[in-house]
Amino acid sequence: MTSSPPAVLAESGRAGGVSRRARPAGALGRHGLRLVRWISPVALLLIWQVVGEFGLISPKKLPPLTTVWQAALEVAGNGQLGTGLAVSLRRMLIGFAIGALIGAALGVFAGLRRWTDAAVDPVMQMIRNVPLFGLIPLLILWFGIGELPKLVLIALAAGLPIYVNVHAGIRGADPHLVEATSALGYTRWQRIRHVVLPGALPYTLVGVRLGVASAWLALVVAETIATDSGIGFMINNARDFLRTDIVIVGLVIYAVVGLLMDTLVRAIERWLLRWRVS
Amino acid sequence: MTETTARTETAWIRGLVKEFGPRRVLDGLDLVVRRGEFVALLGRSGSGKSTLLRVLAGLDHDIEGETSTHGRVSVAFQQPRLLPWRRVWHNITLGVDTPEPRETARQALDEVGLADRMDAWPRTLSGGEAQRVSLARALVRRPDLLLLDEPFGALDALTRMSMHRLVTRLWQAHRPAVLMVTHDVDEALALADRVLVLADGRIAAEHVLPRARPRKAAENAGLRVRVLSDLGVEGVDDHEGA
């Protein structure tokens, strides 16, 4: 059987699917190592606090941690954070859903037959090679500066890696399984449903993870350029009032939400691929 | 083909030619498999045994000559080829039209002694277990013709021996015609009613065995030498295999 784990078809984005190799823990032991991993981040935060506290860097440029924390409580309290986050998440969800559906559908369509591949793939490769954020001026000319260009950008960012990976997964369907199930009397639809699509799932999930990361990045960029709502709006607003602390709060929110989404997708992936027991 | 022959012949091939580029793998092959008989097809590697099986399984249509099969055809391959993402019971009944698939799967798995692995993922099975599931999957389709493509080639010797007993038992219970491709002479002599040797793209030799089972290797020692000589292996004396 040749259903090997998929090679990661890396798009831009951070979720590269690189697994850490287990190395011998050495003198410290496993728990010791885990503790050591905390040293540098904690030290960095401490230095940040001390630098702010003693005024080594102007608080306008880098406010101390405690001030940032106060700012976080402030925006959480006055509802800015809640509404902003809701708007941003909604954008992400809609844009991602549209992009993922179209990307996956095209990937399946192109993957199933040679002629559909020839019909769809060249155009997708063309689009894929246009730098995504270079499209922003064009999107603004076409769709204005409202919600639509943002959703289009997010959808493109999500859809392209998903298309590429679904396509690869479908094309990589194990010929032995396809042949065996034909000989065993599966109908064409049963073969697609039980052999080809599940076989493409590992690739598809790699695409989804890349797509989530890439769509979230697109959201951040779109919101930074022009917006009147969302986390990006909160950040831009804070910049105009020189509230560096709120800018930092916004960035941390972006990072944390991005991380949470990646964790969620990984959990879904583990469940969907539970048949991969070694 | 007439009505009377149609009742006794499960598979019928005349003048089968299969070419891969300039290479003629099957060259005017004739073959009949009668209803309920167990035929073993021996041949050196590259002799076209698996190609012949693929033609009968309907997986290769790019051929010349006449072939026909009567009734349902089912296959078990050398690798079990189970869907790793479907549980064992689901693998058995997918593609089969049955009102209660789980119950059908339970009965089929019971026959191969694996009823307790119904809900296992295929990747957690041992090689022998996976091959038994593959057999159950082939038999649940109630085939008139069961094609076995070196089904035990990847198993260790002990597992293979118990698989031989299992296949004989299943064959006696269900009585499909069986065409088993193998390169193992002893396997062929242990299981089949009739042993065919494929060489130069045709059936080059045929040996009929006594029907009695189970068989002892010693009973067929003389035949073993002849089959080996058909395969081009000379100088094997009677005592070596017995």
Smallest Cβ–Cβ distance between A183 and the set B59, B85, B94 belongs to B59
Supply the pLDDT for residue B210: 85
What is the mean predicted confidence (pLDDT) over B169-198? 93
Q: Is the pLDDT of residue B20 over 80?
A: yes
**∠A58-A59-A60 over CA atoms, to 5°?**
85
Q: Do A1 and B79 touch (CB under 8 A)?
A: yes
CB-based contact, B165 to chain A, within 8 Å: no
- Min Cα distance B123 → chain A (Å) is 6
Q: Do A194 and B94 touch (CB under 8 A)?
A: yes
Q: Which ipTM score applies to this complex?
A: 0.86
Domain spans in chain B, listed from the N-terminal domain onward = 3-241
> Which among B8, B50, B26 has a CA at the least distance from the CA of B204?
B26
CB-based contact, A270 to chain B, within 8 Å: no
Nearest chain B Cα to A2, which residue? B81
Nearest chain A Cα to B130, which residue? A1
CB-based contact, A3 to chain B, within 8 Å: yes
Chain A residues within 8 A of B147 when measuring between CB atoms: 183
Supply the pLDDT for residue B44: 86
**For testing the chain B interface, which of A1, A3, A177, A184 should be mutated: the one with the most B CBs within 10 Å?**
A184
Chain A residues within 8 A of B58 when measuring between CB atoms: 182-183
Q: Do B83 and A201 touch (CB under 8 A)?
A: no
CB-based contact, B173 to chain A, within 8 Å: no
CB-based contact, B86 to chain A, within 8 Å: yes
Whole-angstrom CA distances from A163 to A136, A204, A208, B146, B155 are: 21, 8, 9, 41, 40
What is the mean predicted confidence (pLDDT) over B21-26? 90
Q: Do A176 and B141 touch (CB under 8 A)?
A: no
pLDDT band for B149, please (50, 70, 90 cuts).
Answer: very high
Supply the pLDDT for residue A18: 45
Smallest Cβ–Cβ distance between A177 and the set B57, B58, B83 belongs to B83
What is the spatial distance between Cα B111 and Cα B165, in angstroms, rounded to a whole number? 12
What is the spatial distance between Cα B159 and Cα B152, in angstroms, rounded to a whole number? 9
pTM: 0.82
What is the spatial distance between Cα B81 and Cα A176, in angstroms, rounded to a whole number? 7
CB-based contact, A18 to chain B, within 8 Å: no
Q: What is the CA radius of gyration of chain A?
A: 23
CB-based contact, A196 to chain B, within 8 Å: no
Q: Is the pLDDT of residue B100 over 90?
A: yes
What's chain B's average pLDDT? 88
Each residue's pLDDT tens digit, B174-184:
999 999 999 88
CATH class of B3-241: alpha beta
Contacts of B238 (CB under 8 A, 6+ apart): B221, B222, B224, B225
Each residue's pLDDT tens digit, B57-94:
999 989 999 999 989 999 999 999 999 999 999 999 99
What is the spatial distance between Cα B69 and Cα B85, in angstroms, rounded to a whole number? 32
Size of interface A-B (CB pairs under 8 A): 63
Per-residue HEC secondary structure of B33-97 comes to EECCCEEEEEECCCCCHHHHHHHHCCCCCCCEEEEEECCCEEEECCCCCCCCCCCHHHHHHCCCC
- Range from A270-274, B108-112, B131-135, B149-153 carrying the lowest mean pLDDT: B149-153
CB-based contact, A175 to chain B, within 8 Å: no
- Min Cα distance B86 → chain A (Å) is 8
Chain B residues within 8 A of A277 when measuring between CB atoms: 121, 123-124
Splitting chain A (278 residues) into consecutive groups of 10 residues, what average pLDDT does each group show? 41 43 65 88 91 85 90 94 95 97 97 93 93 93 92 97 96 94 93 96 96 96 88 93 94 95 95 88
- Min Cα distance A273 → chain B (Å) is 8
